[in-house]
Structure 1
Amino acid sequence: MQKEHLPTTAEQVIAKYHSTLRREQTLDPNAEVFIFKTFARTVEGWLPQDKGAPILEIGCGEGTFQRYLQSKGYRNLYAFDLSSENVHICHQRGLRHVCRHDALQVFDYPGPEQGWEMIVCIDLLEHLPKSELCRFITAVRHRLRPSGSVIFQTPNMASVVGLYHRYNDLTHEVGFTEKSVCDLLIASGFPPESIEVRPAWSAATWQGRLREMYLTALHRLIYLADGQATPKIPTRNLLVRATPLTEETSGEDRL
């Protein structure tokens, strides 16, 4: 008798990720205005100047960042998500280019022959198995143009609220500090000098700015005992950008 396949926890949650995690607020038009303001603070300065540059978003969720890119005039957009529910929501929001695909199969995803100018992974790394991270990031590196870059956002385990965000999602597999995320990218072939890690300051209101000041002060107070090992970034998320730098760098160690 053939055994019935029972889905894993991750498979079961991801299939209906939006409704299981009760993420209705992400579709609120009023909330979207503030979310766009947070993107303006966090990643806008890293976006390509060329509005026709090919940009791929891996793990696009309900498509809010895709809508932000459209609002900024970017027109050569590609995106995918593992959750069928999220893909359906994206289509309902007019993002017909979004499809279902597995991030761990990024090397199979069709794209421009010369590579992507930018690949964006917002709140994705923490969902991937640790054993697959180097393989995934190496594949991402190979899919970039020599002049291109990748942007990651991931929860900051050195933040005073880091553990809450690490364990507040059943599909989170791993967490990072500003050091360990650099170690991961270096192990995956990105040159150390190409990696930039910075805080994800994202408040869109004056009340939010006050909370950011409080968080900074609290972070410094808590880490007083740590001396030189004190992590510099207090925000709940880390922002990371890396580039292959040269064609020779991006072409080595082909999969």
Structure 2
Amino acid sequence: MKNIKKLFILVLVVALSLTIFAGCQKNEEAPAQTPSNETPAAEKPAELTKITVAASPVPHAEILEQVKTDLAEKGYELEIVEFSDYVQPNLVVDAGDIDANFFQHKPYLDDFNAENGTKIVSVAAVHYEPLGIYPGKSDDLANISDGASIAVSNDTTNEARALLLLEANGLIKIKEGAGLSATKNDIVENPHNIEIVELEAAQVSRVAGETDFVVLNGNYALDAGFKVGTDALAKEEQDSEAAQVYANILCVKEGNEENEGIKALIEVLKSDRIKQFIADTYEGAVIAID
């Protein structure tokens, strides 16, 4: 009888042990459950790599705004930092604080690098903004009065560009060979005794009520509410050499030309969709470059 009891107890212990073991194994094999308020790792969106670009508000920042979605699809988040001048955007890129800038043309960049010892390079030509002569106190360029004043940008390349436009319209004559380095000191013929008023680029449009005419870059003309197609009294033509020489460019610090994010940005900036946006939005004041 005692042996039977011992056997019964032994069988019971073994049975209980097997039950506990099976339960533990079942728990170990059960897959971990994802809490209902968490997204499975595979479904979480990939983190975007940020690209920062310094730009003039109009049209550069506006154009950049249009590429944000396309760029995000390529894995990059675009942050636009707006500047109203032509100096700081280059300084912050050269310092490495910002990845790229979009506001200038190649002659200005070359002159800036030479004067400031910066090492900034162009990676893409995006669009062209025709320089125009716009009305100030007067709107009759054909019958310009003697002693009329015309405000122009005072940086080397843009002043020369303005003077060449005035020359092309028969208002002055510049010393032969002065070209893109011309200043008002290179004017050799001035039959109307025109006063050339040199100002920092961002200030030119602000004196339209004080000078007879102003010569404006496309972005500052847009900022001032001018439309090149209807308001410009004279402008650089689309098929002119200036369309290539003064193309607005995307720039980076030397050594960053092959950055994958910059390459992706160039691709979306040069897309057909952005070219169409430029054509529809700016009506000739900004012209996309193929």
Q: TM-score, normalised to structure 2's length?
A: 0.27
Report which of the two structures shows the higher radius of gyration computed on alpha carbons.
Answer: 2
Larger RCO of the pair (alpha carbons < 8 Å, separation 6+): 2
Q: TM-score, normalised to structure 1's length?
A: 0.30
